[in-house]
Amino acid sequence: MRIVLDIWRQRGPRDPGRFVRYEVPDVSEHMSFLEMLDVLNVGLVERGDDPVAFDSDCREGICGMCGFLVNGDPHGPTHHATICQTHMRHFADGDTLRLEPWRAAAFPVIKDLVVDRSAFDRIIAAGGYVTIRTGSAPEANAILVPKTDADRAMEAAACIGCGACVAACPNASAALFTGAKISHLGLLPQGQPERARRAVTMAVQAREEGFGHCTSIGECAAVCPASIQLEVIARMNRDFVKATLTGRDEAAPVAVFPRRGPAGGGG
Ligand code: FES
């Protein structure tokens, strides 16, 4: 099949950027989307042109490195799948696809379809350490975890940190990501000692990175390739309010979420 691509080309953070049209003939329906871009890039390199920059690593939907907008959809039209796991059979011969990077102030464009997602790393780092006894591996049944809690914790831990939730949200909110990271520890006995402090420091860091408010639109959960549910946001909010009202977090600031406009557009 033949695919026409309008791709956002931006040489660097200061370049204004623009869409450039390319045509990729002879695309197999069995190719993944990224393999199709590999074919495009081979042709560009052979012509002496700059290949299109995009992130990828595992190409198996587990690392969270890949991701960009396809016709405005984070990771393309196949919901709950990463773009590396999206195959060309989902498109038709002659389709014109518009590819652009995540659009959010907290995710500045580095080049073409690559954005800087280190804001997510700083949110994780703000969570700090978990207090555990080190030494030999503990006996497996020493700390019993209810099955429902273990299941919910595992579901939250499935977040791969790709950033699609931010790209889909009209407020460019990172609430789904932050809620998932807070929830997967907060649901387990091992995560209880620092639970209150962690909920506050991570939520505050998300705000400081420039992500917007969650206004419960739900676009994030609709596009999340790991199917993270909105309940993680409710759990984060509950932990946050409890920590600040009960004073269980000694470092909790008084006015954590000053009112401000959306932190960027997207999806
Ligand atoms: S490249 Fe790892 S999730 Fe897509």
Question: In the numeric block, which tokens belong to residue 30?
Answer: 């069995």
Tell me, in angstroms, the distance from the centre of ligand 1 to residue 61's CA.
4
Residue 248 pLDDT:
61
| Ligand 1 center–CA 240 separation, angstroms | 31
3-24 average pLDDT score: 97
Taking residues 197-226, report their average pLDDT.
96
Ligand 1 atom 3 nearest Cα: 61
Q: Give the confidence band of 141 by pLDDT, cuts at 50, 70, 90.
A: confident
Tell me whether residue 202 is in a domain.
yes
Q: Are 95 and 239 in contact (CB under 8 A)?
A: no
Determine whether the shortest distance from the Cβ of 61 to ligand 1 is under 6 A. yes
Same domain, 136 and 236: yes
Q: Does residue 94 sit in the same domain as residue 138?
A: no
Q: What is the residue range of 139's domain?
A: 117-246
Task: Please give the average per-residue pLDDT across 21-30, as a whole number.
Answer: 96
Instruction: Note whether 106 and 121 are same-domain residues.
Output: no
Q: What's the whole-number mean pLDDT along residues 253-267?
A: 41
Give mean pLDDT, residues 19-44: 97
- The verdict on the CB of residue 122 being under 6 Å from ligand 1 is no
Measured from the CA of 160, which atom of ligand 1 is nearest?
3
- Determine, yes or no, domain membership for 257: no
% of the chain at pLDDT higher than 70: 93
Is ligand 1 within 6 A of the CB of residue 58? Answer: yes
CB 232 within 8 A of CB 156: yes
- Residues 95, 169: one domain? no
The count of domains in the chain is 2
**Residue 246 has what pLDDT?**
82
Order the strands of the 73-74 sheet from edge to edge: 18-24, 3-9, 96-100, 69-70, 73-74
Based on the fold, state whether residues 122 and 17 are members of the same structural domain: no
DSSP label of 51: P
Distance between Cα 69 and ligand 1 center (Å): 14
Same domain, 10 and 124: no
The atom number, within ligand 1, closest to the CA of 84 reads: 4
Q: Cα(225)–Cα(80) distance, rounded to whole angstroms?
A: 4
| Residues 123 and 223 reside in one and the same domain | yes
Instruction: Write down the pTM of the prediction.
Output: 0.89
Q: Binning pLDDT at 50, 70 and 90, where does residue 261 land?
A: very low
Cα-to-centroid distance, 67 and ligand 1 (Å): 8
**Ligand 1 atom with the shortest distance to the CA of 58:** 2
| C-beta of 98 in contact with ligand 1 (< 6 A) | no
- Select from 111, 116, 110 the least CA-distant residue to 52: 111
Instruction: Return the best residue to mutate from 65, 102, 117 for the ligand 1 pocket (most ligand atoms within 8 A of CB).
Output: 65
Q: Best substitution site from 60, 80, 102, 117 to test ligand 1's pocket, by max atoms within 8 Å of Cβ?
A: 60
At 239 the pLDDT is 95
CATH of residue 79: 3.10.20.30
Answer yes or no: is the C-beta of 65 below 6 A from any ligand 1 atom.
yes
Q: Which amino acid is at 243?
A: A
1 DSSP 8-state letter? -
Same domain assignment for residues 43 and 84: yes
- HSE-up of 241 (CA within 13 Å, CB side)? 5
pLDDT over 70 (residue 118): yes
Q: What is the band of 249 on the pLDDT scale with cuts at 50, 70, 90?
A: low
Task: Give, as one character, the DSSP assignment of residue 23.
Answer: E
pLDDT at 256 > cutoff 50: no
- Domain shared by 131 and 69, yes or no: no
261 in any annotated domain: no
